[in-house]
Structure 1
Amino acid sequence: MCRQPLGSPDVDVTSIARPVTGAASRFLSGAGLLLRGIGLYVRSPKLMLLGIVPALISSAVFLTAFAVLVWFVDDLAALVTPFADDWSATWRNLVRVVAGLAILGLGGLLGVVTFTAVTLVIGDPFYEAISERVEERLGGTPGAVDVPFWSSLRRSLADSVRLVALSTLVGIPLFLAGFIPVVGQIVVPVIGAAVGGWFLAVELVGAPFYRRGMRLPERRARLKADRPTALGFGVAVFLCFLIPLGAVLVMPAAVAGATLLARRSLGQPIQET
Protein backbone atom coordinates (compact mmCIF):
# COMPACT_ATOMS: atom_id res chain seq x y z
CA MET A 1 0.00 0.00 0.00
CA CYS A 2 1.50 3.31 -1.06
CA ARG A 3 1.53 6.11 1.44
CA GLN A 4 1.63 9.68 0.30
CA PRO A 5 4.70 11.49 1.68
CA LEU A 6 4.12 14.19 4.23
CA GLY A 7 5.66 16.81 1.98
CA SER A 8 3.31 16.02 -0.92
CA PRO A 9 1.57 19.15 -2.24
CA ASP A 10 -1.75 17.25 -2.11
CA VAL A 11 -1.53 16.81 1.66
CA ASP A 12 -2.65 19.71 3.84
CA VAL A 13 -1.00 18.85 7.15
CA THR A 14 -2.45 21.86 8.94
CA SER A 15 -6.03 20.67 8.36
CA ILE A 16 -5.69 17.01 9.34
CA ALA A 17 -8.15 16.05 12.09
CA ARG A 18 -8.33 19.56 13.46
CA PRO A 19 -11.54 19.86 15.52
CA VAL A 20 -13.77 22.87 14.86
CA THR A 21 -13.58 24.14 18.42
CA GLY A 22 -11.62 26.72 20.35
CA ALA A 23 -8.08 26.23 21.60
CA ALA A 24 -9.21 25.85 25.22
CA SER A 25 -11.70 23.12 24.29
CA ARG A 26 -9.06 21.28 22.29
CA PHE A 27 -6.62 21.57 25.19
CA LEU A 28 -9.17 19.97 27.52
CA SER A 29 -9.94 17.36 24.87
CA GLY A 30 -6.24 16.47 24.77
CA ALA A 31 -6.18 16.07 28.55
CA GLY A 32 -9.23 13.84 28.16
CA LEU A 33 -7.21 11.46 25.98
CA LEU A 34 -5.09 10.67 29.04
CA LEU A 35 -8.27 9.89 30.98
CA ARG A 36 -9.34 7.55 28.19
CA GLY A 37 -5.92 5.94 28.35
CA ILE A 38 -6.47 5.34 32.07
CA GLY A 39 -9.83 3.78 31.21
CA LEU A 40 -8.12 1.39 28.79
CA TYR A 41 -5.57 0.70 31.52
CA VAL A 42 -8.31 -0.39 33.92
CA ARG A 43 -9.88 -2.68 31.29
CA SER A 44 -6.60 -4.47 30.44
CA PRO A 45 -4.85 -4.70 33.82
CA LYS A 46 -2.59 -7.66 32.97
CA LEU A 47 -1.10 -5.98 29.92
CA MET A 48 -0.85 -2.62 31.61
CA LEU A 49 0.86 -4.02 34.70
CA LEU A 50 3.69 -5.18 32.44
CA GLY A 51 4.18 -1.55 31.46
CA ILE A 52 4.73 -0.58 35.10
CA VAL A 53 7.90 -2.69 35.38
CA PRO A 54 10.17 -0.57 33.13
CA ALA A 55 8.66 2.61 34.60
CA LEU A 56 9.46 1.32 38.10
CA ILE A 57 13.07 0.64 37.14
CA SER A 58 13.51 4.08 35.58
CA SER A 59 11.79 5.79 38.50
CA ALA A 60 14.18 4.25 41.00
CA VAL A 61 17.13 5.66 39.05
CA PHE A 62 15.66 9.12 38.44
CA LEU A 63 14.27 9.58 41.95
CA THR A 64 17.70 8.77 43.34
CA ALA A 65 19.30 11.26 40.94
CA PHE A 66 16.78 13.97 41.89
CA ALA A 67 17.33 13.29 45.60
CA VAL A 68 21.07 13.81 45.04
CA LEU A 69 20.27 17.07 43.24
CA VAL A 70 18.15 18.25 46.18
CA TRP A 71 20.93 17.30 48.60
CA PHE A 72 23.52 19.39 46.74
CA VAL A 73 21.22 22.18 45.53
CA ASP A 74 22.61 24.70 48.05
CA ASP A 75 26.16 24.10 46.85
CA LEU A 76 25.06 24.33 43.21
CA ALA A 77 23.16 27.55 43.90
CA ALA A 78 26.31 29.06 45.42
CA LEU A 79 28.34 27.83 42.45
CA VAL A 80 26.14 29.62 39.88
CA THR A 81 25.88 32.86 41.91
CA PRO A 82 29.49 33.83 42.70
CA PHE A 83 28.55 37.47 42.13
CA ALA A 84 26.55 37.38 45.38
CA ASP A 85 29.47 36.33 47.60
CA ASP A 86 30.09 39.89 48.82
CA TRP A 87 26.43 40.85 49.21
CA SER A 88 24.69 41.16 52.55
CA ALA A 89 23.50 37.86 54.02
CA THR A 90 19.84 38.67 53.37
CA TRP A 91 20.23 39.41 49.66
CA ARG A 92 22.77 36.65 49.15
CA ASN A 93 20.46 34.07 50.70
CA LEU A 94 17.47 35.35 48.72
CA VAL A 95 19.33 35.11 45.40
CA ARG A 96 20.55 31.62 46.20
CA VAL A 97 17.09 30.42 47.20
CA VAL A 98 15.84 31.64 43.83
CA ALA A 99 18.81 29.97 42.12
CA GLY A 100 18.09 26.74 43.98
CA LEU A 101 14.46 26.78 42.86
CA ALA A 102 15.55 27.43 39.27
CA ILE A 103 17.99 24.50 39.43
CA LEU A 104 15.30 22.18 40.80
CA GLY A 105 12.86 23.39 38.13
CA LEU A 106 15.35 22.71 35.35
CA GLY A 107 16.16 19.34 36.91
CA GLY A 108 12.47 18.48 37.05
CA LEU A 109 11.86 19.44 33.42
CA LEU A 110 14.86 17.51 32.10
CA GLY A 111 14.17 14.64 34.49
CA VAL A 112 10.60 14.11 33.28
CA VAL A 113 11.55 14.25 29.59
CA THR A 114 14.61 12.03 30.07
CA PHE A 115 12.67 9.60 32.26
CA THR A 116 10.10 9.17 29.51
CA ALA A 117 12.78 8.62 26.86
CA VAL A 118 14.68 6.06 28.94
CA THR A 119 11.53 4.24 30.05
CA LEU A 120 10.25 3.95 26.48
CA VAL A 121 13.58 2.44 25.40
CA ILE A 122 13.72 0.00 28.33
CA GLY A 123 10.09 -1.03 27.97
CA ASP A 124 9.84 -0.88 24.17
CA PRO A 125 8.29 -4.40 23.76
CA PHE A 126 5.75 -3.78 26.55
CA TYR A 127 4.69 -0.34 25.35
CA GLU A 128 4.56 -1.52 21.73
CA ALA A 129 2.17 -4.28 22.84
CA ILE A 130 0.01 -1.79 24.74
CA SER A 131 -0.14 0.57 21.76
CA GLU A 132 -0.96 -2.27 19.36
CA ARG A 133 -3.75 -3.52 21.63
CA VAL A 134 -5.30 -0.06 21.65
CA GLU A 135 -5.12 0.14 17.84
CA GLU A 136 -6.74 -3.28 17.51
CA ARG A 137 -9.70 -2.08 19.57
CA LEU A 138 -10.03 0.93 17.29
CA GLY A 139 -10.06 -1.02 14.04
CA GLY A 140 -6.39 -1.73 13.38
CA THR A 141 -3.45 0.27 12.03
CA PRO A 142 -4.01 1.82 8.58
CA GLY A 143 -0.78 2.04 6.59
CA ALA A 144 1.16 -0.26 8.92
CA VAL A 145 4.65 -1.29 7.82
CA ASP A 146 6.85 -4.13 9.04
CA VAL A 147 9.66 -2.57 11.08
CA PRO A 148 12.27 -4.97 12.57
CA PHE A 149 12.60 -4.71 16.35
CA TRP A 150 16.26 -3.64 16.42
CA SER A 151 15.73 -1.10 13.68
CA SER A 152 12.78 0.35 15.57
CA LEU A 153 14.79 0.44 18.80
CA ARG A 154 17.69 2.27 17.13
CA ARG A 155 15.38 4.85 15.62
CA SER A 156 13.54 5.32 18.90
CA LEU A 157 16.82 5.81 20.76
CA ALA A 158 18.14 8.29 18.20
CA ASP A 159 14.93 10.33 18.24
CA SER A 160 14.84 10.27 22.05
CA VAL A 161 18.38 11.62 22.24
CA ARG A 162 17.42 14.44 19.86
CA LEU A 163 14.37 15.35 21.94
CA VAL A 164 16.33 15.33 25.22
CA ALA A 165 19.03 17.51 23.67
CA LEU A 166 16.41 19.95 22.39
CA SER A 167 14.67 20.07 25.77
CA THR A 168 18.04 20.89 27.36
CA LEU A 169 18.56 23.79 24.96
CA VAL A 170 15.08 25.11 25.79
CA GLY A 171 15.55 24.48 29.51
CA ILE A 172 18.66 26.66 29.84
CA PRO A 173 16.87 29.94 28.97
CA LEU A 174 14.06 28.95 31.34
CA PHE A 175 16.67 28.39 34.06
CA LEU A 176 18.10 31.87 33.49
CA ALA A 177 14.60 33.38 33.44
CA GLY A 178 14.05 31.80 36.85
CA PHE A 179 16.19 34.58 38.36
CA ILE A 180 13.70 37.26 37.30
CA PRO A 181 11.57 38.24 40.33
CA VAL A 182 7.90 37.16 40.16
CA VAL A 183 8.21 36.10 36.50
CA GLY A 184 10.70 33.40 37.44
CA GLN A 185 8.47 32.00 40.14
CA ILE A 186 5.07 32.25 38.40
CA VAL A 187 5.42 32.49 34.62
CA VAL A 188 8.44 30.24 34.14
CA PRO A 189 6.88 27.16 35.83
CA VAL A 190 3.83 27.49 33.55
CA ILE A 191 6.04 27.77 30.47
CA GLY A 192 8.12 24.86 31.75
CA ALA A 193 5.02 22.67 32.07
CA ALA A 194 3.93 23.61 28.54
CA VAL A 195 7.39 22.92 27.11
CA GLY A 196 7.70 19.67 29.03
CA GLY A 197 4.19 18.66 27.97
CA TRP A 198 4.96 19.26 24.31
CA PHE A 199 8.12 17.16 24.42
CA LEU A 200 6.28 14.37 26.27
CA ALA A 201 3.52 14.35 23.66
CA VAL A 202 6.06 14.12 20.81
CA GLU A 203 7.96 11.39 22.67
CA LEU A 204 4.98 9.25 23.65
CA VAL A 205 3.37 9.08 20.19
CA GLY A 206 6.54 7.50 18.79
CA ALA A 207 5.27 3.87 18.72
CA PRO A 208 2.12 4.40 16.63
CA PHE A 209 4.01 6.63 14.20
CA TYR A 210 6.89 4.15 13.82
CA ARG A 211 4.29 1.47 13.15
CA ARG A 212 3.27 3.49 10.12
CA GLY A 213 6.86 4.09 9.00
CA MET A 214 6.82 7.74 10.10
CA ARG A 215 9.76 9.38 11.85
CA LEU A 216 10.21 12.29 14.27
CA PRO A 217 9.83 15.18 11.76
CA GLU A 218 6.54 13.75 10.52
CA ARG A 219 5.01 13.19 13.92
CA ARG A 220 6.11 16.65 15.04
CA ALA A 221 4.39 18.18 12.00
CA ARG A 222 1.19 16.21 12.61
CA LEU A 223 0.99 17.26 16.25
CA LYS A 224 1.67 20.89 15.37
CA ALA A 225 -1.44 20.81 13.16
CA ASP A 226 -3.49 20.63 16.38
CA ARG A 227 -1.04 21.91 18.97
CA PRO A 228 -3.65 22.68 21.70
CA THR A 229 -4.79 19.05 21.78
CA ALA A 230 -1.21 17.77 21.90
CA LEU A 231 -0.37 20.26 24.66
CA GLY A 232 -3.46 19.32 26.67
CA PHE A 233 -2.45 15.68 26.60
CA GLY A 234 1.24 16.36 27.24
CA VAL A 235 0.71 18.82 30.10
CA ALA A 236 -1.70 16.40 31.81
CA VAL A 237 0.94 13.66 31.61
CA PHE A 238 3.67 16.05 32.75
CA LEU A 239 1.73 17.07 35.86
CA CYS A 240 0.94 13.44 36.68
CA PHE A 241 4.64 12.57 36.38
CA LEU A 242 5.47 15.22 39.00
CA ILE A 243 3.35 13.39 41.59
CA PRO A 244 5.29 10.83 43.68
CA LEU A 245 4.91 7.43 41.95
CA GLY A 246 2.73 9.14 39.35
CA ALA A 247 5.17 8.34 36.56
CA VAL A 248 5.15 4.64 37.45
CA LEU A 249 1.38 4.32 37.59
CA VAL A 250 0.49 6.63 34.69
CA MET A 251 3.16 5.63 32.15
CA PRO A 252 1.23 2.67 30.62
CA ALA A 253 -1.96 4.75 30.48
CA ALA A 254 0.01 7.60 28.89
CA VAL A 255 1.17 5.22 26.14
CA ALA A 256 -2.45 4.19 25.52
CA GLY A 257 -3.59 7.82 25.48
CA ALA A 258 -0.72 8.75 23.14
CA THR A 259 -1.95 6.12 20.68
CA LEU A 260 -5.34 7.86 20.67
CA LEU A 261 -3.58 11.20 20.15
CA ALA A 262 -1.56 9.80 17.23
CA ARG A 263 -4.66 8.40 15.55
CA ARG A 264 -6.53 11.66 16.02
CA SER A 265 -3.64 13.66 14.55
CA LEU A 266 -3.70 11.34 11.52
CA GLY A 267 -7.44 11.72 11.00
CA GLN A 268 -8.17 8.12 12.04
CA PRO A 269 -11.07 7.01 14.29
CA ILE A 270 -10.53 6.90 18.05
CA GLN A 271 -13.84 5.27 18.92
CA GLU A 272 -13.92 1.51 19.48
CA THR A 273 -15.43 -0.57 16.70
Structure 2
Amino acid sequence: MRGNPITGAGYLVKGLKMLPDPEIRPFVIVPLLINVVLFIAAFWVLFSQMGGWIDGLLSYLPDWASFLHWFLWPLFALMVLLVAYYSFSIVANLIAAPFNGFLSEKVEKRLRGELVVDEGWKALLAMVPRSIQRELAKLVYYLPRVLFLLILSFVPVINVISPLLWLWFGAWMMAIQYCDYPMDNNKVSFGQMKLLLKQERLTAIGFGGLIQACMLVPLLNLLIMPAAVVGATLYWVEAHAGEERPLPTQGRLNRA
Protein backbone atom coordinates (compact mmCIF):
# COMPACT_ATOMS: atom_id res chain seq x y z
CA MET A 1 0.00 0.00 0.00
CA ARG A 2 1.19 3.46 -0.89
CA GLY A 3 1.25 6.58 1.26
CA ASN A 4 2.62 7.68 4.61
CA PRO A 5 0.47 7.56 7.77
CA ILE A 6 2.68 10.20 9.44
CA THR A 7 1.99 12.60 6.58
CA GLY A 8 -1.72 11.90 6.88
CA ALA A 9 -1.76 12.48 10.64
CA GLY A 10 0.16 15.71 10.09
CA TYR A 11 -2.75 17.21 8.15
CA LEU A 12 -4.97 16.98 11.23
CA VAL A 13 -2.27 18.65 13.34
CA LYS A 14 -2.05 21.44 10.78
CA GLY A 15 -5.83 21.74 10.83
CA LEU A 16 -5.84 22.19 14.61
CA LYS A 17 -3.15 24.87 14.35
CA MET A 18 -5.13 26.76 11.71
CA LEU A 19 -8.39 27.00 13.67
CA PRO A 20 -7.48 30.33 15.38
CA ASP A 21 -6.79 31.98 12.00
CA PRO A 22 -8.95 35.15 12.12
CA GLU A 23 -10.02 34.77 8.47
CA ILE A 24 -11.63 31.36 8.97
CA ARG A 25 -12.55 31.56 12.67
CA PRO A 26 -16.11 32.83 12.03
CA PHE A 27 -16.85 29.76 9.91
CA VAL A 28 -15.58 27.35 12.61
CA ILE A 29 -18.20 28.28 15.22
CA VAL A 30 -21.22 26.26 13.98
CA PRO A 31 -19.32 22.99 13.32
CA LEU A 32 -17.71 23.43 16.73
CA LEU A 33 -21.09 23.84 18.48
CA ILE A 34 -22.53 20.82 16.67
CA ASN A 35 -19.53 18.74 17.78
CA VAL A 36 -20.00 19.84 21.41
CA VAL A 37 -23.64 18.72 21.36
CA LEU A 38 -22.62 15.43 19.70
CA PHE A 39 -20.12 14.56 22.39
CA ILE A 40 -22.40 15.46 25.29
CA ALA A 41 -25.05 13.10 23.88
CA ALA A 42 -22.55 10.36 22.95
CA PHE A 43 -20.82 10.25 26.31
CA TRP A 44 -24.10 10.25 28.22
CA VAL A 45 -25.29 7.18 26.28
CA LEU A 46 -21.90 5.44 26.40
CA PHE A 47 -21.30 5.72 30.12
CA SER A 48 -24.79 4.49 30.89
CA GLN A 49 -24.84 1.57 28.42
CA MET A 50 -21.29 0.60 27.42
CA GLY A 51 -20.66 -2.01 30.14
CA GLY A 52 -23.74 -4.00 29.18
CA TRP A 53 -22.89 -3.88 25.48
CA ILE A 54 -19.34 -5.16 26.03
CA ASP A 55 -20.48 -7.96 28.36
CA GLY A 56 -23.00 -8.99 25.69
CA LEU A 57 -20.26 -9.19 23.04
CA LEU A 58 -17.97 -11.20 25.34
CA SER A 59 -20.76 -13.67 26.08
CA TYR A 60 -20.39 -14.98 22.51
CA LEU A 61 -16.86 -16.23 23.23
CA PRO A 62 -16.65 -20.03 23.62
CA ASP A 63 -15.85 -21.32 27.12
CA TRP A 64 -12.35 -22.41 26.14
CA ALA A 65 -11.52 -18.79 25.22
CA SER A 66 -12.73 -17.29 28.50
CA PHE A 67 -9.12 -16.55 29.49
CA LEU A 68 -9.11 -13.86 26.77
CA HIS A 69 -11.72 -11.73 28.55
CA TRP A 70 -9.13 -9.52 30.23
CA PHE A 71 -7.45 -8.87 26.87
CA LEU A 72 -10.58 -8.42 24.78
CA TRP A 73 -12.52 -6.18 27.18
CA PRO A 74 -10.49 -3.02 26.40
CA LEU A 75 -10.44 -3.85 22.68
CA PHE A 76 -14.21 -4.32 22.61
CA ALA A 77 -14.59 -1.13 24.64
CA LEU A 78 -12.66 0.73 21.95
CA MET A 79 -14.79 -0.92 19.27
CA VAL A 80 -18.00 0.16 21.03
CA LEU A 81 -16.65 3.69 21.39
CA LEU A 82 -15.94 3.88 17.67
CA VAL A 83 -19.29 2.41 16.62
CA ALA A 84 -21.20 4.70 18.98
CA TYR A 85 -19.27 7.76 17.89
CA TYR A 86 -19.77 7.10 14.21
CA SER A 87 -23.47 6.41 14.79
CA PHE A 88 -23.84 9.79 16.46
CA SER A 89 -21.67 11.31 13.74
CA ILE A 90 -24.11 10.23 11.05
CA VAL A 91 -26.75 12.50 12.54
CA ALA A 92 -24.30 15.27 13.41
CA ASN A 93 -22.72 15.27 9.96
CA LEU A 94 -26.09 15.41 8.25
CA ILE A 95 -26.79 18.58 10.23
CA ALA A 96 -23.28 20.00 9.94
CA ALA A 97 -22.60 19.05 6.29
CA PRO A 98 -23.45 22.44 4.73
CA PHE A 99 -21.47 24.27 7.43
CA ASN A 100 -18.49 21.93 6.99
CA GLY A 101 -18.62 22.38 3.22
CA PHE A 102 -18.78 26.14 3.70
CA LEU A 103 -15.81 26.04 6.10
CA SER A 104 -13.79 23.93 3.66
CA GLU A 105 -14.51 26.38 0.85
CA LYS A 106 -13.28 29.32 2.94
CA VAL A 107 -10.15 27.45 4.05
CA GLU A 108 -9.29 26.62 0.44
CA LYS A 109 -9.64 30.29 -0.54
CA ARG A 110 -7.44 31.24 2.40
CA LEU A 111 -4.78 28.72 1.33
CA ARG A 112 -4.84 30.05 -2.22
CA GLY A 113 -4.45 33.65 -1.07
CA GLU A 114 -7.96 34.68 -2.15
CA LEU A 115 -10.16 37.09 -0.21
CA VAL A 116 -12.25 35.25 2.39
CA VAL A 117 -15.64 36.90 2.89
CA ASP A 118 -18.90 35.84 4.50
CA GLU A 119 -21.36 35.49 1.62
CA GLY A 120 -24.32 35.16 3.96
CA TRP A 121 -27.03 32.58 4.48
CA LYS A 122 -28.02 32.37 0.80
CA ALA A 123 -24.64 30.90 -0.15
CA LEU A 124 -24.86 28.47 2.75
CA LEU A 125 -28.41 27.38 1.95
CA ALA A 126 -27.43 26.79 -1.68
CA MET A 127 -25.05 24.07 -0.47
CA VAL A 128 -27.69 22.17 1.53
CA PRO A 129 -29.14 19.87 -1.19
CA ARG A 130 -25.73 18.83 -2.52
CA SER A 131 -24.30 18.35 0.98
CA ILE A 132 -27.19 16.15 2.11
CA GLN A 133 -26.89 14.07 -1.06
CA ARG A 134 -23.18 13.42 -0.37
CA GLU A 135 -23.88 12.49 3.25
CA LEU A 136 -26.45 9.96 2.08
CA ALA A 137 -23.89 8.53 -0.37
CA LYS A 138 -21.48 8.05 2.54
CA LEU A 139 -24.24 6.38 4.53
CA VAL A 140 -24.99 3.95 1.68
CA TYR A 141 -21.27 3.13 1.53
CA TYR A 142 -20.96 2.77 5.30
CA LEU A 143 -23.99 0.69 6.30
CA PRO A 144 -23.35 -2.63 4.47
CA ARG A 145 -19.72 -2.63 5.60
CA VAL A 146 -20.52 -1.88 9.22
CA LEU A 147 -23.18 -4.61 9.20
CA PHE A 148 -20.61 -7.07 7.87
CA LEU A 149 -18.19 -6.12 10.65
CA LEU A 150 -20.95 -6.47 13.23
CA ILE A 151 -21.62 -9.99 12.02
CA LEU A 152 -17.91 -10.83 12.27
CA SER A 153 -17.92 -9.49 15.84
CA PHE A 154 -20.29 -12.34 16.83
CA VAL A 155 -18.43 -15.14 15.03
CA PRO A 156 -16.30 -17.19 17.46
CA VAL A 157 -12.53 -17.01 16.91
CA ILE A 158 -12.88 -14.36 14.18
CA ASN A 159 -14.31 -11.92 16.74
CA VAL A 160 -10.89 -11.91 18.44
CA ILE A 161 -9.52 -9.76 15.60
CA SER A 162 -12.73 -7.80 14.94
CA PRO A 163 -11.65 -4.81 17.11
CA LEU A 164 -8.59 -4.37 14.87
CA LEU A 165 -10.82 -4.47 11.79
CA TRP A 166 -13.06 -1.83 13.39
CA LEU A 167 -10.04 0.40 14.01
CA TRP A 168 -8.91 0.14 10.39
CA PHE A 169 -12.40 0.65 9.00
CA GLY A 170 -13.09 3.56 11.38
CA ALA A 171 -9.90 5.32 10.26
CA TRP A 172 -10.86 4.81 6.60
CA MET A 173 -14.37 6.14 7.17
CA MET A 174 -13.07 9.23 8.99
CA ALA A 175 -10.82 9.98 6.01
CA ILE A 176 -13.78 9.57 3.63
CA GLN A 177 -16.05 11.65 5.86
CA TYR A 178 -13.85 14.72 6.00
CA CYS A 179 -11.91 14.56 2.71
CA ASP A 180 -15.26 14.53 0.93
CA TYR A 181 -15.95 18.18 1.82
CA PRO A 182 -13.13 19.81 -0.21
CA MET A 183 -13.48 17.24 -3.00
CA ASP A 184 -17.23 17.80 -3.26
CA ASN A 185 -16.61 21.56 -3.42
CA ASN A 186 -14.27 20.89 -6.36
CA LYS A 187 -16.83 18.66 -8.12
CA VAL A 188 -14.92 15.42 -7.53
CA SER A 189 -17.48 12.61 -7.57
CA PHE A 190 -17.89 10.34 -4.55
CA GLY A 191 -16.48 7.40 -6.52
CA GLN A 192 -13.45 9.33 -7.73
CA MET A 193 -12.87 10.66 -4.21
CA LYS A 194 -12.60 7.08 -2.91
CA LEU A 195 -10.23 6.23 -5.75
CA LEU A 196 -7.96 9.19 -4.96
CA LEU A 197 -7.79 8.19 -1.29
CA LYS A 198 -7.10 4.54 -2.15
CA GLN A 199 -4.13 5.55 -4.32
CA GLU A 200 -2.35 6.58 -1.09
CA ARG A 201 -4.40 4.62 1.39
CA LEU A 202 -1.85 4.77 4.23
CA THR A 203 -1.90 8.57 4.15
CA ALA A 204 -5.70 8.50 4.42
CA ILE A 205 -5.53 5.91 7.23
CA GLY A 206 -3.02 8.06 9.14
CA PHE A 207 -5.32 11.08 8.83
CA GLY A 208 -8.47 9.18 9.86
CA GLY A 209 -6.67 7.21 12.55
CA LEU A 210 -5.48 10.33 14.35
CA ILE A 211 -9.02 11.72 14.17
CA GLN A 212 -10.21 8.57 15.96
CA ALA A 213 -7.50 8.85 18.61
CA CYS A 214 -8.23 12.51 19.28
CA MET A 215 -11.92 11.75 19.68
CA LEU A 216 -11.01 9.86 22.88
CA VAL A 217 -9.18 12.84 24.42
CA PRO A 218 -11.48 15.03 26.57
CA LEU A 219 -11.77 18.68 25.46
CA LEU A 220 -9.55 18.06 22.43
CA ASN A 221 -12.34 15.97 20.94
CA LEU A 222 -14.58 19.04 20.88
CA LEU A 223 -12.31 20.63 18.27
CA ILE A 224 -12.01 17.58 16.03
CA MET A 225 -14.86 18.20 13.58
CA PRO A 226 -13.72 21.66 12.38
CA ALA A 227 -10.03 20.68 12.67
CA ALA A 228 -10.64 17.61 10.50
CA VAL A 229 -12.44 19.72 7.87
CA VAL A 230 -9.53 22.17 7.79
CA GLY A 231 -6.97 19.34 7.75
CA ALA A 232 -8.79 17.54 4.92
CA THR A 233 -8.83 20.76 2.90
CA LEU A 234 -5.08 21.15 3.43
CA TYR A 235 -4.70 17.53 2.29
CA TRP A 236 -6.71 18.24 -0.85
CA VAL A 237 -4.84 21.43 -1.77
CA GLU A 238 -1.36 19.99 -1.13
CA ALA A 239 -1.84 16.46 -2.46
CA HIS A 240 -4.55 16.51 -5.11
CA ALA A 241 -5.70 19.96 -6.26
CA GLY A 242 -4.61 20.89 -9.73
CA GLU A 243 -3.59 17.37 -10.72
CA GLU A 244 -4.93 16.02 -13.99
CA ARG A 245 -6.68 12.77 -13.09
CA PRO A 246 -8.90 10.64 -15.34
CA LEU A 247 -12.35 9.81 -14.12
CA PRO A 248 -12.47 6.26 -12.73
CA THR A 249 -14.11 3.63 -14.89
CA GLN A 250 -17.21 1.83 -13.69
CA GLY A 251 -15.23 -1.36 -13.02
CA ARG A 252 -12.76 0.47 -10.83
CA LEU A 253 -15.60 2.18 -8.99
CA ASN A 254 -17.19 -1.15 -8.17
CA ARG A 255 -13.97 -2.29 -6.50
CA ALA A 256 -13.60 0.92 -4.46
- Normalising by structure 2, we get a TM-score of 0.74
Give the 3-state SS of the residue equivalent to 2:19 in structure 1. Answer: helix
Structure 1 pair 112/30, CA: closer, same or farther in 2 (3 Å)?
same
- Give the whole-Å Cα distance in 1 for the aligned partners of 2:221 and 2:155: 27
- Which of 27, 52, 62 aligns to 1:47? It is 27
Q: Distance in 1 between matches of 2:137 and 2:150?
A: 20
Letter of the structure 2 residue corresponding to residue 35 of structure 1: V
Counterpart among 197, 207, 227 of residue 181 in structure 2:
207
Please say if 1:57 is aligned against 2:31: no
| Alpha-carbon offset, residue 47 of structure 1 | 3.1
| Aligned match of 1:108 | 81
Query: Residue 9 of structure 1 corresponds to which residue in structure 2?
Result: none
Give matches, 1:178-193, under 5 Å. Answer: 184=160, 189-193=163-167
Do 1:205 and 1:255's aligned partners in 2 also have CA atoms closer than 8 Å? yes
Q: What is the TM-score when the length of structure 1 is the normalising length?
A: 0.70
Look up the equivalent residue of 2:193 and give its one-letter code: R
Give 1:177 shift.
7.5
Amino acid at match of 2:40: A
2:37 maps to amino acid: I
Stretches of structure 1 lacking an aligned partner (at least 5 in a row): 1-21, 85-90
- Following the alignment from structure 2 to structure 1, what is the Cα–Cα distance between the partners of residues 96 and 227? 14
Q: Is the Cα–Cα contact under 8 Å of residues 112 and 238 in structure 1 kept in the other structure? A: no
**Residues 99 and 236 (structure 1 numbering): CA distance in 2 closer, same or farther, change over 3 Å?**
closer
Aligned counterparts, 1:257-272, within 5 A:
257-268=231-242
**Shift of residue 137, structure 1, vs aligned partner:** 1.3
Query: Residue type matched to 2:60 in 1?
Result: V
- CA distance in 2 between counterparts of 1:64 and 1:48 reads 25
Separation (CA, whole Å) in 2 of partners of 1:150 and 1:232 = 29
Matched, 1:248 2:226: no
Match of 2:14 among 16, 23, 36: 36
Q: Which has the larger radius of gyration?
A: 1
Write out per-residue CA displacement over residues 162-213 of structure 1, whole angstroms, 9 at most, x where no aligned residue.
Answer: 2431441353366358956xx94xx665543332111100111122122123
Conserved 8 A contact 1:110-1:164: no
Letter in 2 for 1:136: K
Tell me, yes or no, if structure 1 residue 235 matches structure 2 residue 209. Answer: yes
RMSD over aligned Cα, in angstroms?
3.4
Unaligned runs of 5+ in 2: 115-123, 244-256
In structure 2, C-alpha distance between the alignment counterparts of 1:164 and 1:48, rounded to whole Å = 26
1:228-253 Cα deviation digits (max 9, x unpaired): 21111111111111223433222111
Q: Does 1:161 align with 2:139?
A: yes
Which of 94, 103, 106 is matched with 1:130 structurally?
103
Please state whether the residue corresponding to 2:187 is helix, strand or coil: coil
Query: Contact 2:57 / 2:154 at 8 angstroms: preserved in 1?
Result: no
Q: Secondary structure at the match of 2:149?
A: helix
